[in-house]
Structure 1
Amino acid sequence: MFSKVCVALLGIPLLRVLAAPREQFGPHIIHEERSVIPNQWDRRPMLDKTRIIPVRINLAQNLEGAEDLLMEVSHPDSPKYAQHYNAEEVADLFAPTKETIDIVLDWLRSEGHDVDHSHYNHRKAAVVVPMPIHTAENLLHATYDAYEHTNGKVHIACMNYSLPEAVRHHVDFVLPTVHFDVHTTPHAPTQEEKRDPTVPSPGKLKDKSPVLPKQGATLSPQALAPAGSLSKCDQQITPDCLRALYGIKYTQKATKKNSFGIVEYTPQSYIPGDLDLFAKQYVPGGVGRRPKLLSVDGGQISSASKSFDLNGESDLDLEYGMALTFPLSVSLYQAGDKIFGASFNTFLDALDNTYCAGDDPTQDPHYPDPNPGGYKGKDCGKYAPTNVISTSYAYNEIDLTPSYEKRQCNEYLKLGLRGVTVVYSSGDYGVAGNGGNCIDASGHLSPSGLRFNPSFPSTCPYITSIGATQIKPGNSVAKPEEAAQTVIFSGGGFSNVFPMPSYQKTAIQYYYKHFKPSYSSSQYNNNQKARGFPDISANGVNYVVAVDGAFSLVYGTSASAPVVGSIFALINDARLAHGKKPIGFVNPTLYAHPSAFNDITSGNNPGCSTQGFTAVKGWDPVTGLGTPSFPKLLKLFLSLK
């Protein structure tokens, strides 16, 4: 368990006067490695190894007992349920131990580096030492090369590096090393790609871009389902359809105490006129309302250019998030300037000032932005997190190193400790990954790969992953839904990085006992000990969305996530009105009470030359526990402390 007293004493870490002998730290052991050069990168023949680079050593956070603490404030049977921590308490809980600090600094001194307090930032848990590349090679037993991306970007990296046996358990990861996929695109996040069907879809799409929800037919004003009507919900999903599907009938009482945030990444941006067009049709009294802009590292609303690529995601998220929670003031975290854009870490930095120093410059945009017109600051800890945060972007789990993902995943654990509910869309490719890609025998992404390609952060056990369902064609809102089968397929599967969390154990054991898939270990992680996703689902097919001045149908778990986020925001309103705390990390409660969901037992999520998994009784890696029953969830969470 953590000791707040001991951690508090680390405010001024002690440096040993004499450097320990190198032999004390034991032999070097490989800490991280990669077997292949990532797609679109090639090794360059020349590298000046006298060049000075900043070697950043991210110290291991003090994670002993962290998950136990999260369960204490999140499990419905815990006497400490909802007794969340504040930001300062969480920062102290996670600070590296004195032993970690001393060992890493002693090791550097034994290697001849004159490190002192100026190299170590206690709150940000990182040691930065500038040194020539050849010195870094000696320190890390690595061989550095220059690599060039197809777009001309150059990056310094190695295929593996080592740390002494006594040091490696005190270090999360070192930069620059094996981390590739530099933020290469000047106008969009490169890895937060959205979904694209992995199997030919039955619908005609206007846009097959892998970075957006999918746009279907344009709807004339005469073809629109009227407000209040439920007769076309199998063809056109509207806020009224969703209220009917999930029993969302609630009058808010604590909007001034409540908060709900939706995250968007530049250049995606909503069009104000689209919000009004949608509100005029479906949100009485909502015309003229705008989300509260929370700009992260220069994020701004831009309507200079219009297209579904630029506006579809933001319009979708905000139109439905604002409609379902009206009159709550929804916050918009707009992340990244128009030059660098943003990564998930860019956004997380804005919520936690102790996290910034660990950003990976090969994965994350580096702010301040030196380019003309770029954002000249760096927003560390600028905002308190909203009670609920919804994000509809995703990486492939294989895009990132496990150490990077684990460190980011622990940030979601921290948010859970602070009482924040974080939801992510699970993807629209079934068991395939972004763009319909799977993992081939060489470890690369390929449409012809055969290994399932899970989505991150959906595989992080500290977020709530949201899959997609649909109303069966010809059915009414009163009939059971099925897993999404039109245009998109619900992302789902099992992690190759994260183990199964305790709250999932019963559900996954039941799944394997009664519905064990026939796929081999070469196709997916079938050790029955891996984190499964999604956790729950909501409708993600045939959404009526106003984009660029007209209505069209839109498909994706991009829609499912803000709908579930809205439901959790309404439940928070009820708890706050009763003098209770926000629901925070919800997964332990959801899995402990699966009867609060509408079980989905039909449909599948094909991909990677298979039919994927099948929706079955109980939890499954297609729709999770099922879709929410708002009345049951409201009663459940109001019954908790």
Structure 2
Amino acid sequence: MLLSWSLFILALGGLTFAAPSRRANYVVHEKRAAEPSPAWVQSRRLESDKILPMRFGLTQSNLDKVEDILMAVSHPHSADYGKHLSPTEVIEMFKPSSETIEAVKNWLIGSGISPERIRLSGNKGWIELNATVAEAEDLLDTEYHVYEHEESGLEQISCHSYSLPAHVQPHIELVKPTVHFNHRVARDEGAPGKLKRKRESSLGKPSPYNGPKTNGEHPSVAPSLDSCDEYITPACLRALYNIYYVPTQTGKNTYGVVEFTPQAYLPTDLDMFFSNYSPSLVGTRPVLVSIDGGYPQAQYQGFDYNGESDLDFEYAMSLVTPQNVTLLQTGDMVEGAGFDNWLDAVDASFCTYEGGDDPSQDGIYPDTAPGGYNGPESCGIIAPPYVVSTSYGQDEFTATPAYAIRQCNEYAKLGMMGTTVLYASGDYGVAGFGGECIDTATNTESVNGTRFNPDFPATCPYVTAVGATQVSPGYTVYEPESAAETVIYSGGGFSNIFAMPSYQAAAVTHYLEAYPPPYTAAQYNNSGNVRAFPDLAANGVNYVIAIDGEFELVYGTSASSPVVGSMITLVNDARLGAGKGPVGFLNPVIYTPGFASAFHDITNGSNQGCGTVGFTTEPGWDPVTGVGTPDLTILMPMLLGLP
């Protein structure tokens, strides 16, 4: 018997010795979306004693019901149309479960992290931990490296992938900072280094992502309706889309336009433009909401600093006057900002300690750097405007699915609360910024790539993506427009991340079956079950703007988005006057067949890129101009007739 017990102890010891490490149950959670360009060189391992502000995004409840909940308050055939949720109801609907919070906490404590170091955010959406690099690498079974840009000398950190224990993985959506990697650096000369870095490292940088383009032409004549094929003015847009409604509910209605510092309007430019095209607005300015220290700076001037903001407010203010337009100026002059920063400001439930933002993508506030905004992070400082237009974006390829999906869900929540969120669809057709496409052999972006490169957040199914049209040369505003093919090409195509939402399934399926694109699965996601964009369009070519004391012509879906935003703002005014609420998430309405007559169908043009002619416009929805351009005299009474 003694011999048998001894053998058992030896066997047990052998089993203990041979047992797998705790890494055996780890599974890869995220991988870097795209490899850095050759200009970024991996220089060294990140020092093990450096402190990282780790943020664990907890899996929210009811995420499988996001589309159903949003459709219930947004689809014109729903009995609950227009019954938008309150911020409190949204928080309660999606807050992580107690089981999720405890699972992640217990894992961290079991890994040697003391309980007092672990913080739970106010909305219970994030667990926060300041950890050394050594601790983070141990928790995530990864390695952090420093990458240096050969030309600028700028550095950023990243890991290629990270893993989580299998029993913890279902409770975590994403971990920051980890695999997110910014692939570009600024090309502007003369601006301070940190200003250049953050303009380029922010997702929402003012240039060149979706910012207006110029051909250098300076109009020397006073444009009229007879010359709208060469010079677009507010009068041209009114004639194109029948924008003749005068707001009456200016005290109730709200229209916000997002700008990212250092992009800012110049007051003298606004007055120069208004003097010519909207005299009653001379001296009028947008209502400033400063987010994370943002303000309309005038220290740096030039097209890259003033072009977008001048364009947005010269046209948005002209089209909705006397309605005020709110400027959501985001980010200070040192760090700048990304999309998460403005979302923090309009929805307190999206905020966490230090904003829950990604240091590689967003501004982290307070900013203690000299000249930085050292005040509290702007969290829930303003109710979401009824309409928000954003003319910025990034290539979807550079965003990991976890990052993109989490942000996209936030747009859905804004829709549930009654906000219409508009994003420009991009200016390079089926290609990404700068005409770059995806090189599948190297998993990088390149002008020699052959796979189409869609735009984000335009690919998020819970925003309204706006493409671009133009008045064809020699045509008038009273004749059909075509897809934008002068200087820019309307961004459009199919997501590589997001599934097809139910509201567009019939329209997109019809396009793919009736007009099958002549491209393979190697060139774009032709599965037929993914989000397609844009949703609609508006003119984006030959805009006359006042910029830095002179008139220039500009081009871009960055012009189209605020124009559509202006039209929906006028619709909201009419609904508010009738005792109703704002329209909120717009897409389920515009894809409903009964609303087709409210849009001018665009059937001429394409959106070339990646060595192809791109997709073609066709009768009905297409991945160039969506369902077409709005006719406000038809759309407004239709939307006014909804509950």
TM-score by length of 2: 0.90
Aligned partners of 2:373 and 2:432: how far apart in 1? 32
1:294 aligned counterpart, secondary structure: strand
2:573 aligned counterpart, secondary structure: helix
Q: How far off is 1:183 after superposition?
A: 9.6
Asked if 2 retains the 8 angstrom alpha-carbon contact of 1:465 and 1:536, the reply is yes
1:583 aligned counterpart, secondary structure: coil
Structure holding more helix per residue:
2
Q: 1:190 pairs with 195, 201, 208, which one?
A: 201
- Counterpart code for 1:238: T
Q: How does 1:350-369 map to 2 (within 5 A)?
A: 350-357=345-352, 358-369=356-367
- Counterpart code for 2:374: K
Q: How far off is 1:248 after superposition?
A: 1.3
After superposition, the Cα gap between the structure-2 partners of 1:443 and 1:255, relative to the gap in structure 1 and judged at 3 Å, is same
Q: What are the superposed Cα offsets for residues 138-169 of structure 1, whole Å, 9 maximum, x if unpaired?
A: 32222233333343343333211111222111
Q: What are the superposed Cα offsets for residues 538-583 of structure 1, whole Å, 9 maximum, x if unpaired?
A: 0011111111111111111111001000000000000000000000
- Counterpart code for 1:484: A
Q: 1:320 maps to which residue?
A: 315
Q: 1:115 maps to which residue?
A: 115
- Counterpart code for 1:491: G
Query: Unaligned regions of 5+ residues in structure 1, if any?
Result: 1-21, 197-208
Aligned partners of 2:487 and 2:183: how far apart in 1? 31
Q: 1:345 maps to which residue?
A: 340
Q: How far off is 1:350 after superposition?
A: 0.8
Q: How far off is 1:47 after superposition?
A: 3.6
Q: 1:371 pairs with 349, 369, 373, which one?
A: 369
2:157 aligned counterpart, secondary structure: strand
Q: Which moved more, 1:491-500 or 1:146-155?
A: 146-155
Aligned partners of 1:219 and 1:35: how far apart in 2? 41
Q: Which moved more, 1:60-69 or 1:534-543?
A: 60-69
2:225 aligned counterpart, secondary structure: coil
After superposition, the Cα gap between the structure-2 partners of 1:513 and 1:195, relative to the gap in structure 1 and judged at 3 Å, is farther
Q: 2:279 maps to which residue?
A: 284
- Counterpart code for 1:165: A
Q: 1:164 maps to which residue?
A: 165
After superposition, the Cα gap between the structure-2 partners of 1:35 and 1:253, relative to the gap in structure 1 and judged at 3 Å, is closer
After superposition, the Cα gap between the structure-2 partners of 1:36 and 1:559, relative to the gap in structure 1 and judged at 3 Å, is closer
Q: 1:626 maps to which residue?
A: 628
Q: How far off is 1:46 after superposition?
A: 4.4
Q: 1:103 maps to which residue?
A: 103
Q: 1:469 maps to which residue?
A: 469
Q: 1:599 pairs with 586, 601, 615, which one?
A: 601
Q: 1:13 maps to which residue?
A: none
Query: Unaligned regions of 5+ residues in structure 2, if any?
Result: 1-19, 187-193
- Counterpart code for 2:344: D
Q: 1:433 maps to which residue?
A: 432
Aligned partners of 1:194 and 1:612: how far apart in 2? 26
Q: What are the superposed Cα offsets for residues 362-391 of structure 1, whole Å, 9 maximum, x if unpaired?
A: 221211111111101211111111110011
Aligned partners of 2:53 and 2:296: how far apart in 1? 34
Q: 1:614 pairs with 613, 616, 624, which one?
A: 616
Q: What are the superposed Cα offsets for residues 314-352 of structure 1, whole Å, 9 maximum, x if unpaired?
A: 111000000000110111111111111111111111112
After superposition, the Cα gap between the structure-2 partners of 1:429 and 1:339, relative to the gap in structure 1 and judged at 3 Å, is same
Q: 1:256 pairs with 245, 251, 257, which one?
A: 251
After superposition, the Cα gap between the structure-2 partners of 1:195 and 1:487, relative to the gap in structure 1 and judged at 3 Å, is farther
Percent identity of paired positions between Structure 1 and Structure 2: 50
- Counterpart code for 2:628: G
1:354 aligned counterpart, secondary structure: helix
1:231 aligned counterpart, secondary structure: helix
Q: Which moved more, 1:165-174 or 1:100-109?
A: 100-109
After superposition, the Cα gap between the structure-2 partners of 1:194 and 1:430, relative to the gap in structure 1 and judged at 3 Å, is farther
Asked if 1 retains the 8 angstrom alpha-carbon contact of 2:120 and 2:128, the reply is yes
1:508 aligns with 2:503: no
Aligned partners of 2:476 and 2:460: how far apart in 1? 35
Aligned partners of 1:230 and 1:37: how far apart in 2? 49
Asked if 2 retains the 8 angstrom alpha-carbon contact of 1:469 and 1:482, the reply is yes
- Counterpart code for 2:100: T
- Counterpart code for 2:255: F
Q: How far off is 1:113 after superposition?
A: 2.4
Aligned partners of 2:183 and 2:246: how far apart in 1? 47
Q: What are the superposed Cα offsets for residues 509-542 of structure 1, whole Å, 9 maximum, x if unpaired?
A: 1101101101011111110011001000000111
Q: What are the superposed Cα offsets for residues 22-67 of structure 1, whole Å, 9 maximum, x if unpaired?
A: 9999821110113764124222234432444333211112224222
After superposition, the Cα gap between the structure-2 partners of 1:153 and 1:194, relative to the gap in structure 1 and judged at 3 Å, is closer
Aligned partners of 1:552 and 1:35: how far apart in 2? 38
Q: 1:59 maps to which residue?
A: 58
Q: Which moved more, 1:58-67 or 1:543-552?
A: 58-67
After superposition, the Cα gap between the structure-2 partners of 1:316 and 1:112, relative to the gap in structure 1 and judged at 3 Å, is same
2:56 aligned counterpart, secondary structure: strand
Asked if 1 retains the 8 angstrom alpha-carbon contact of 2:536 and 2:626, the reply is yes
- Counterpart code for 2:412: L
Asked if 2 retains the 8 angstrom alpha-carbon contact of 1:195 and 1:434, the reply is no
2:92 aligned counterpart, secondary structure: helix
Q: 2:6 maps to which residue?
A: none
After superposition, the Cα gap between the structure-2 partners of 1:583 and 1:136, relative to the gap in structure 1 and judged at 3 Å, is same
Q: 2:16 maps to which residue?
A: none
Kindly tell me the number of residue pairs found equivalent between the two proteins.
605
Q: 1:496 maps to which residue?
A: 496
Q: How does 1:154-553 map to 2 (within 5 A)?
A: 154-181=155-182, 186-187=194-195, 188-192=199-203, 212-219=211-218, 221=220, 223-225=221-223, 229-357=224-352, 358-377=356-375, 378-440=377-439, 441-553=441-553
Aligned partners of 2:21 and 2:581: how far apart in 1? 53
Q: How far off is 1:210 after superposition?
A: 6.2
1:544 aligned counterpart, secondary structure: strand
Q: 1:7 maps to which residue?
A: none
Q: What are the superposed Cα offsets for residues 455-505 of structure 1, whole Å, 9 maximum, x if unpaired?
A: 000000010000000111111111100000111110000000111101010
Aligned partners of 1:189 and 1:42: how far apart in 2? 17
After superposition, the Cα gap between the structure-2 partners of 1:305 and 1:362, relative to the gap in structure 1 and judged at 3 Å, is closer
TM-score by length of 1: 0.90
Asked if 1 retains the 8 angstrom alpha-carbon contact of 2:425 and 2:465, the reply is yes
After superposition, the Cα gap between the structure-2 partners of 1:142 and 1:253, relative to the gap in structure 1 and judged at 3 Å, is same
Aligned partners of 1:312 and 1:627: how far apart in 2? 24
Q: What are the superposed Cα offsets for residues 50-88 of structure 1, whole Å, 9 maximum, x if unpaired?
A: 444333211112224222111111011111111111222
Asked if 2 retains the 8 angstrom alpha-carbon contact of 1:191 and 1:395, the reply is no
Q: What are the superposed Cα offsets for residues 241-294 of structure 1, whole Å, 9 maximum, x if unpaired?
A: 111111112122211111111111111111111111111111131111110011
Asked if 1 retains the 8 angstrom alpha-carbon contact of 2:34 and 2:397, the reply is no
Q: Which moved more, 1:573-582 or 1:252-261?
A: 252-261
Asked if 1 retains the 8 angstrom alpha-carbon contact of 2:428 and 2:607, the reply is yes
